[in-house]
Structure 1
Amino acid sequence: MPTYEQDFYQWTIEQAQALRERNIKALDWDNLIEEIESLGRDYYKDCFSYAVLIIVHRLYIDYWVAQRERNQFHWQGEIDNWQTLIQNHLTTNIKNKLEKEWDTIYHQARQKFIKKTGIDTLPESCPYTLEEILE
Protein backbone atom coordinates (compact mmCIF):
# COMPACT_ATOMS: atom_id res chain seq x y z
CA MET A 1 0.00 0.00 0.00
CA PRO A 2 1.56 3.33 -1.07
CA THR A 3 1.94 5.92 1.60
CA TYR A 4 0.78 9.49 1.55
CA GLU A 5 4.31 10.65 0.69
CA GLN A 6 5.04 8.00 -1.97
CA ASP A 7 1.95 8.28 -4.18
CA PHE A 8 -0.58 10.86 -3.05
CA TYR A 9 -3.05 10.04 -5.82
CA GLN A 10 -3.11 6.33 -5.01
CA TRP A 11 -3.31 7.18 -1.30
CA THR A 12 -6.49 9.21 -1.95
CA ILE A 13 -8.07 6.31 -3.84
CA GLU A 14 -7.26 3.87 -1.06
CA GLN A 15 -8.41 6.21 1.70
CA ALA A 16 -11.71 6.84 -0.11
CA GLN A 17 -12.21 3.11 -0.47
CA ALA A 18 -11.46 2.56 3.22
CA LEU A 19 -14.01 5.24 4.11
CA ARG A 20 -16.64 3.68 1.86
CA GLU A 21 -16.03 0.30 3.48
CA ARG A 22 -15.95 1.86 6.97
CA ASN A 23 -12.55 0.20 7.38
CA ILE A 24 -11.28 2.27 10.30
CA LYS A 25 -8.00 0.35 10.60
CA ALA A 26 -7.00 1.19 7.01
CA LEU A 27 -7.43 4.93 7.50
CA ASP A 28 -4.40 7.19 7.71
CA TRP A 29 -5.95 9.45 10.34
CA ASP A 30 -3.20 12.06 10.71
CA ASN A 31 -2.92 12.73 6.99
CA LEU A 32 -6.70 12.58 6.47
CA ILE A 33 -7.16 15.22 9.16
CA GLU A 34 -4.50 17.42 7.57
CA GLU A 35 -6.02 17.06 4.10
CA ILE A 36 -9.53 17.91 5.30
CA GLU A 37 -8.24 20.98 7.13
CA SER A 38 -6.26 21.92 4.04
CA LEU A 39 -9.38 21.74 1.87
CA GLY A 40 -11.13 24.25 4.12
CA ARG A 41 -8.13 26.58 4.13
CA ASP A 42 -7.92 26.37 0.34
CA TYR A 43 -11.59 27.26 -0.08
CA TYR A 44 -11.12 30.28 2.14
CA LYS A 45 -7.90 31.36 0.39
CA ASP A 46 -9.67 31.13 -2.97
CA CYS A 47 -12.53 33.34 -1.75
CA PHE A 48 -10.07 35.81 -0.20
CA SER A 49 -8.12 36.02 -3.48
CA TYR A 50 -11.27 36.42 -5.60
CA ALA A 51 -12.46 39.22 -3.30
CA VAL A 52 -9.12 41.01 -3.69
CA LEU A 53 -9.29 40.68 -7.47
CA ILE A 54 -12.89 41.88 -7.61
CA ILE A 55 -12.03 44.95 -5.54
CA VAL A 56 -8.97 45.74 -7.68
CA HIS A 57 -11.09 45.64 -10.80
CA ARG A 58 -13.87 47.70 -9.23
CA LEU A 59 -11.20 50.24 -8.33
CA TYR A 60 -10.00 50.19 -11.95
CA ILE A 61 -13.50 50.99 -13.14
CA ASP A 62 -14.15 53.66 -10.53
CA TYR A 63 -10.74 55.35 -10.25
CA TRP A 64 -8.59 54.66 -13.33
CA VAL A 65 -10.33 57.20 -15.51
CA ALA A 66 -7.63 57.25 -18.22
CA GLN A 67 -8.21 53.54 -18.97
CA ARG A 68 -11.91 53.22 -18.16
CA GLU A 69 -13.37 53.70 -21.64
CA ARG A 70 -10.92 51.26 -23.19
CA ASN A 71 -11.06 48.53 -20.52
CA GLN A 72 -14.23 48.74 -18.47
CA PHE A 73 -16.04 45.93 -20.26
CA HIS A 74 -13.04 43.63 -19.88
CA TRP A 75 -12.74 44.53 -16.19
CA GLN A 76 -16.45 43.94 -15.64
CA GLY A 77 -16.18 40.58 -17.37
CA GLU A 78 -13.37 39.61 -15.03
CA ILE A 79 -15.45 40.71 -12.03
CA ASP A 80 -18.37 38.60 -13.24
CA ASN A 81 -16.11 35.54 -13.57
CA TRP A 82 -14.65 35.94 -10.08
CA GLN A 83 -18.08 36.53 -8.58
CA THR A 84 -19.21 33.21 -10.04
CA LEU A 85 -16.12 31.47 -8.67
CA ILE A 86 -16.51 32.98 -5.21
CA GLN A 87 -20.19 31.98 -5.13
CA ASN A 88 -19.16 28.38 -5.87
CA HIS A 89 -17.04 28.33 -2.70
CA LEU A 90 -18.91 30.69 -0.42
CA THR A 91 -20.40 29.39 2.82
CA THR A 92 -21.75 31.28 5.80
CA ASN A 93 -18.53 30.67 7.74
CA ILE A 94 -16.30 31.80 4.88
CA LYS A 95 -18.45 34.88 4.39
CA ASN A 96 -18.18 35.72 8.10
CA LYS A 97 -14.40 35.32 7.98
CA LEU A 98 -14.17 37.53 4.88
CA GLU A 99 -16.15 40.20 6.72
CA LYS A 100 -13.76 40.02 9.67
CA GLU A 101 -10.77 40.40 7.35
CA TRP A 102 -12.34 43.02 5.07
CA ASP A 103 -9.75 45.69 5.96
CA THR A 104 -6.90 43.31 5.09
CA ILE A 105 -8.58 42.32 1.83
CA TYR A 106 -9.02 45.95 0.86
CA HIS A 107 -5.46 46.83 1.85
CA GLN A 108 -4.12 44.12 -0.47
CA ALA A 109 -6.40 45.24 -3.31
CA ARG A 110 -5.47 48.88 -2.77
CA GLN A 111 -1.76 48.05 -2.92
CA LYS A 112 -2.19 46.06 -6.13
CA PHE A 113 -4.15 48.93 -7.69
CA ILE A 114 -1.54 51.53 -6.71
CA LYS A 115 1.32 49.34 -7.96
CA LYS A 116 -0.33 48.89 -11.37
CA THR A 117 -1.69 52.40 -11.89
CA GLY A 118 0.48 54.72 -9.84
CA ILE A 119 -2.73 56.31 -8.58
CA ASP A 120 -2.60 56.62 -4.80
CA THR A 121 -5.61 58.84 -4.12
CA LEU A 122 -7.89 55.96 -3.13
CA PRO A 123 -9.95 55.97 0.04
CA GLU A 124 -8.19 54.51 3.08
CA SER A 125 -11.25 52.36 3.85
CA CYS A 126 -12.93 50.10 1.34
CA PRO A 127 -15.60 51.96 -0.62
CA TYR A 128 -17.46 48.69 -1.20
CA THR A 129 -19.23 46.28 1.10
CA LEU A 130 -18.81 42.53 0.89
CA GLU A 131 -22.39 42.32 -0.35
CA GLU A 132 -21.60 44.71 -3.21
CA ILE A 133 -18.56 42.65 -4.16
CA LEU A 134 -20.62 39.46 -4.20
CA GLU A 135 -23.46 40.86 -6.37
Structure 2
Amino acid sequence: MSKKLYDQDFKKWIETTIYQLQKGDFSSLDIYNLIEELTELGKSEKRALESNLMILLAHLLKLKVQQDAPSSMKDSWYRSIIEHRQRVQKNLKDTPSLKSYLETAIKKAYTDARKIAIKEGKLANFGVRIPQENESPKNCPFFQKQILDEDFYGN
Protein backbone atom coordinates (compact mmCIF):
# COMPACT_ATOMS: atom_id res chain seq x y z
CA MET A 1 0.00 0.00 0.00
CA SER A 2 2.68 2.58 0.99
CA LYS A 3 4.75 1.77 -2.13
CA LYS A 4 1.71 2.65 -4.21
CA LEU A 5 1.15 5.78 -2.17
CA TYR A 6 4.77 6.82 -2.67
CA ASP A 7 4.38 6.50 -6.45
CA GLN A 8 0.94 8.12 -6.62
CA ASP A 9 1.00 10.99 -4.12
CA PHE A 10 4.38 11.90 -2.69
CA LYS A 11 3.03 14.62 -0.38
CA LYS A 12 0.47 12.22 1.08
CA TRP A 13 3.22 9.59 1.47
CA ILE A 14 5.27 12.09 3.52
CA GLU A 15 2.28 12.97 5.71
CA THR A 16 1.52 9.29 6.27
CA THR A 17 5.16 8.50 7.06
CA ILE A 18 5.34 11.34 9.59
CA TYR A 19 2.12 10.16 11.21
CA GLN A 20 3.43 6.58 11.41
CA LEU A 21 6.68 7.77 13.00
CA GLN A 22 4.85 9.96 15.51
CA LYS A 23 2.58 7.07 16.52
CA GLY A 24 5.47 4.60 16.70
CA ASP A 25 3.87 2.49 13.97
CA PHE A 26 7.25 1.37 12.63
CA SER A 27 5.97 -1.88 11.15
CA SER A 28 3.85 0.04 8.62
CA LEU A 29 6.67 2.31 7.46
CA ASP A 30 7.83 2.21 3.86
CA ILE A 31 11.44 1.75 4.99
CA TYR A 32 12.95 1.40 1.51
CA ASN A 33 11.60 4.73 0.23
CA LEU A 34 12.17 6.45 3.58
CA ILE A 35 15.88 5.52 3.48
CA GLU A 36 16.06 6.60 -0.16
CA GLU A 37 14.52 10.01 0.59
CA LEU A 38 16.72 10.64 3.64
CA THR A 39 19.85 9.70 1.67
CA GLU A 40 18.86 12.01 -1.16
CA LEU A 41 18.15 14.83 1.29
CA GLY A 42 21.72 14.66 2.57
CA LYS A 43 23.10 14.65 -0.96
CA SER A 44 21.00 17.64 -1.99
CA GLU A 45 22.33 19.68 0.93
CA LYS A 46 25.89 18.94 -0.20
CA ARG A 47 25.05 19.75 -3.83
CA ALA A 48 23.53 23.09 -2.82
CA LEU A 49 26.68 24.00 -0.88
CA GLU A 50 28.94 22.96 -3.77
CA SER A 51 26.83 24.87 -6.29
CA ASN A 52 26.94 28.10 -4.29
CA LEU A 53 30.67 27.68 -3.69
CA MET A 54 31.25 27.09 -7.40
CA ILE A 55 29.75 30.46 -8.39
CA LEU A 56 31.36 32.25 -5.44
CA LEU A 57 34.80 30.84 -6.29
CA ALA A 58 34.42 31.50 -10.03
CA HIS A 59 33.78 35.18 -9.41
CA LEU A 60 36.50 35.49 -6.77
CA LEU A 61 38.89 33.95 -9.30
CA LYS A 62 37.74 36.28 -12.08
CA LEU A 63 38.37 39.29 -9.85
CA LYS A 64 41.83 37.95 -9.05
CA VAL A 65 42.79 37.12 -12.64
CA GLN A 66 40.97 39.87 -14.55
CA GLN A 67 41.95 42.84 -12.42
CA ASP A 68 41.99 45.01 -15.53
CA ALA A 69 38.33 44.28 -16.37
CA PRO A 70 36.03 47.31 -16.53
CA SER A 71 34.19 48.17 -13.34
CA SER A 72 30.84 47.32 -14.95
CA MET A 73 31.99 43.68 -15.24
CA LYS A 74 33.55 43.67 -11.79
CA ASP A 75 30.41 45.13 -10.21
CA SER A 76 28.43 42.14 -11.46
CA TRP A 77 31.01 39.76 -9.98
CA TYR A 78 30.95 41.60 -6.64
CA ARG A 79 27.17 41.31 -6.46
CA SER A 80 27.34 37.61 -7.28
CA ILE A 81 30.01 37.06 -4.61
CA ILE A 82 27.87 38.79 -2.00
CA GLU A 83 24.81 36.71 -2.93
CA HIS A 84 26.52 33.34 -3.12
CA ARG A 85 28.60 33.90 -0.01
CA GLN A 86 25.35 34.61 1.82
CA ARG A 87 23.90 31.39 0.42
CA VAL A 88 26.95 29.43 1.60
CA GLN A 89 26.63 30.96 5.07
CA LYS A 90 22.94 30.02 5.11
CA ASN A 91 23.75 26.46 3.98
CA LEU A 92 26.22 26.14 6.85
CA LYS A 93 23.86 27.70 9.39
CA ASP A 94 20.86 25.59 8.37
CA THR A 95 22.89 22.38 8.24
CA PRO A 96 25.80 22.70 10.71
CA SER A 97 27.08 19.21 9.88
CA LEU A 98 28.13 20.58 6.47
CA LYS A 99 30.99 22.43 8.18
CA SER A 100 32.93 19.17 8.35
CA TYR A 101 32.40 18.81 4.58
CA LEU A 102 33.39 22.38 3.70
CA GLU A 103 37.05 21.75 2.73
CA THR A 104 36.03 18.87 0.46
CA ALA A 105 33.23 20.97 -1.03
CA ILE A 106 35.66 23.81 -1.76
CA LYS A 107 38.03 21.45 -3.57
CA LYS A 108 35.20 19.93 -5.60
CA ALA A 109 33.62 23.29 -6.40
CA TYR A 110 36.90 24.96 -7.34
CA THR A 111 37.53 22.56 -10.22
CA ASP A 112 34.26 23.63 -11.86
CA ALA A 113 34.68 27.27 -10.77
CA ARG A 114 38.02 27.42 -12.55
CA LYS A 115 36.47 26.02 -15.74
CA ILE A 116 33.70 28.63 -15.56
CA ALA A 117 36.14 31.48 -14.97
CA ILE A 118 38.31 30.37 -17.90
CA LYS A 119 35.37 29.90 -20.29
CA GLU A 120 33.76 33.19 -19.32
CA GLY A 121 37.13 34.93 -19.58
CA LYS A 122 37.37 33.79 -23.20
CA LEU A 123 34.08 35.59 -23.89
CA ALA A 124 35.60 38.97 -23.03
CA ASN A 125 35.06 41.61 -25.68
CA PHE A 126 35.14 45.37 -26.22
CA GLY A 127 38.90 45.46 -25.76
CA VAL A 128 38.92 43.54 -22.48
CA ARG A 129 42.02 41.36 -22.20
CA ILE A 130 41.35 37.63 -22.47
CA PRO A 131 43.31 35.93 -19.68
CA GLN A 132 45.49 32.92 -20.40
CA GLU A 133 44.32 29.62 -18.94
CA ASN A 134 47.50 29.25 -16.88
CA GLU A 135 46.67 32.48 -15.02
CA SER A 136 44.00 30.54 -13.14
CA PRO A 137 45.69 28.33 -10.53
CA LYS A 138 44.82 24.63 -10.70
CA ASN A 139 44.34 24.56 -6.91
CA CYS A 140 42.12 26.98 -5.06
CA PRO A 141 44.18 30.09 -4.22
CA PHE A 142 41.81 31.15 -1.44
CA PHE A 143 41.74 29.96 2.15
CA GLN A 144 38.46 28.83 3.69
CA LYS A 145 38.53 31.84 6.01
CA GLN A 146 38.85 34.20 3.02
CA ILE A 147 36.05 32.48 1.11
CA LEU A 148 33.68 32.96 4.05
CA ASP A 149 34.88 36.50 4.90
CA GLU A 150 32.24 38.97 3.73
CA ASP A 151 34.89 41.65 3.17
CA PHE A 152 37.19 39.51 0.98
CA TYR A 153 36.98 39.82 -2.79
CA GLY A 154 40.11 38.04 -3.96
CA ASN A 155 41.88 41.06 -5.34
Shorter-chain TM band: 0.7 to 0.9
Deviations 1:66-95 (A, max 9, x none): 534113232222212212222222255423
- Taking the aligned partners of 2:105 and 2:87, their CA distance within structure 1 comes to 19
Deviation at 1:129, TM superposition (A): 1.4
The reply on whether 1:109 has 2:113 as its aligned counterpart is yes
Deviation at 1:100, TM superposition (A): 3.0
- Taking the aligned partners of 1:116 and 1:20, their CA distance within structure 2 comes to 51
The reply on whether 1:80 has 2:76 as its aligned counterpart is no
Identity of aligned residues (%): 27
- Taking the aligned partners of 1:103 and 1:14, their CA distance within structure 2 comes to 40
Alignment TM-score, normalising by the size of structure 1: 0.86
Gaps of 5+ in 1: none
Deviations 1:95-126 (A, max 9, x none): 33231354332221111111111231212221
The reply on whether 1:124 has 2:138 as its aligned counterpart is yes
Decide which of 93, 98, 106 is 1:94's aligned counterpart. 98
**3-state DSSP of counterpart to 1:3:** helix
Q: Say whether the 8 Å CA contact 2:52–2:87 is kept in structure 1.
A: yes
Would you say how many aligned residue pairs link Structure 1 and Structure 2? 135
- Taking the aligned partners of 2:90 and 2:99, their CA distance within structure 1 comes to 12
Q: Say whether the 8 Å CA contact 1:52–1:106 is kept in structure 2.
A: yes
Gaps of 5+ in 2: 123-130, 150-155
Q: Say whether the 8 Å CA contact 1:60–1:68 is kept in structure 2.
A: no
Q: Say whether the 8 Å CA contact 2:49–2:105 is kept in structure 1.
A: no
The structure with more radius of gyration = 2
Kindly provide the amino acid, as one letter, of the partner of residue 131 in structure 1. K
TM alignment of 1:1-135, pairs within 5 A: 2-90=4-92, 91=95, 93-118=97-122, 119=131, 120=133, 121-135=135-149
Q: Say whether the 8 Å CA contact 2:52–2:88 is kept in structure 1.
A: yes
- Taking the aligned partners of 1:34 and 1:53, their CA distance within structure 2 comes to 29
Q: Say whether the 8 Å CA contact 1:106–1:125 is kept in structure 2.
A: yes
**Deviating 4+ runs (over 4 angstroms):** none
